[in-house]
Amino acid sequence: MKIRLNKNILTKEKKIALNNPEYVKIENKKYKINTDFRVAIKCNNIALDNSIGEYEKSLAIIYKLFGDEGLKDFDNHEKLLELGQRYLRLDKDYENNYEEPDMDFVQDKQYIRSSFMQDYKYNPYDLEYLHWWDFYHDLNGLSNSEFGNCCILNRIRNLRTYDISQIKDTKEKERIIKTKKQVALNRTKGSLTKKEQESVRKFFESMKRA
């Protein structure tokens, strides 16, 4: 579906329009969002990377979403980060209740690919472009039924969160525990590409000289 860009603007004062956003707006200036779903996944990886400081994370996410234009606009970094985070959350309010993750975009890539092919007959990673919001909605719409169709991704996610305390049979419990370990998520670090590292480094150098 073709969307007119001037209708898809995320602002500090308003909620996002129903269409997928393409820009954010601060006062009278618009910033183009890099809306491909792979960029949003990269931002998620950066946010989870404990080897990167919070300020560096902020700069990296601003750079990924808004490019050099956003990174160089120092006065609006705070607003850009706020709007960027709201965009990544699909304009939903932040809920500060931690839950152990049952999925990882990188580690579960093969399951995501297979599940999209099963349910939607397309592979998102083969597409040149797919808006983050469209990808996210399709991800959450994957089949997940105990009594009917259930895609491989949701079977894995359900297994990871399965409560083994309800299993009475010892052998069955051991089997489930072993299977859960086989599909458990690894604690991995996100990473910045050399280009991204160089852009952030140059920004820091310019700030030191200022």
Q: Determine contact, residues 102/157, Cβ cutoff 8 Å.
A: yes
Output the pLDDT for position 201: 55
- The pLDDT value given to residue 187: 66
What pLDDT score was predicted for residue 148? 66
Residues 88, 10 share a domain: yes
Structural domain including 170 reads 109-182
Q: Tokens for 71, please give them.
A: 């990174």
CA distances 95 to 21, 61, 89, 171, Å, are 22, 20, 10, 38
In a domain, 164, yes or no: yes
Q: What is the pLDDT of residue 202?
A: 53
Q: What is the pLDDT of residue 93?
A: 80
Q: Where are the alpha helices (DSSP H) in the chain?
A: 37-48, 54-72, 77-88, 109-120, 132-140, 152-160, 170-182, 194-209
Coil, strand or helix: which one is 123?
Answer: coil
- Could you tell me if 153 and 115 lie in one domain? yes
Q: Which of 85, 100, 98, 77 is nearest to 161 (CA)?
A: 100
Provide the residue-wise pLDDT of the chain in tens; the chain has 210 residues. Answer: 222 223 344 544 444 444 899 999 999 899 999 999 999 999 999 998 888 899 999 999 999 999 999 999 999 999 999 999 999 999 888 666 667 889 999 999 999 999 999 999 999 999 999 999 999 999 999 999 876 689 999 999 999 998 888 888 888 888 888 888 899 998 655 445 566 555 555 544 544 444
Beta bridge partners of 42: none
Query: 126 and 91 share a domain?
Result: no
Query: In angstroms, rounded to a whole number, what is the distance separating the alpha carbons of residues 39 and 131?
Result: 10
The domain tally of the chain equals: 2
59 with 11, same domain? yes
Give the pLDDT confidence score for residue 101 in this predicted structure.
87
pTM greater than 0.85 (yes/no)? no
- Answer yes or no: do 161 and 123 share one domain: yes
pLDDT tens string 21-47: 999 999 989 999 999 999 999 999 999
- Whether 166 maps to a domain, the answer reads yes
User: Given its phi and psi angles, is residue 84 left (phi above 0), alpha (psi -120 to 50 degrees) or beta?
Assistant: alpha
Same-domain status, 62 and 13:
yes
Task: Give the per-residue pLDDT at 206.
Answer: 47
Do 12 and 89 fall within a single domain?
A: yes
Judge contact between 17 and 7, C-beta under 8 A. Answer: yes
Q: Does a structural domain hold residue 168?
A: yes
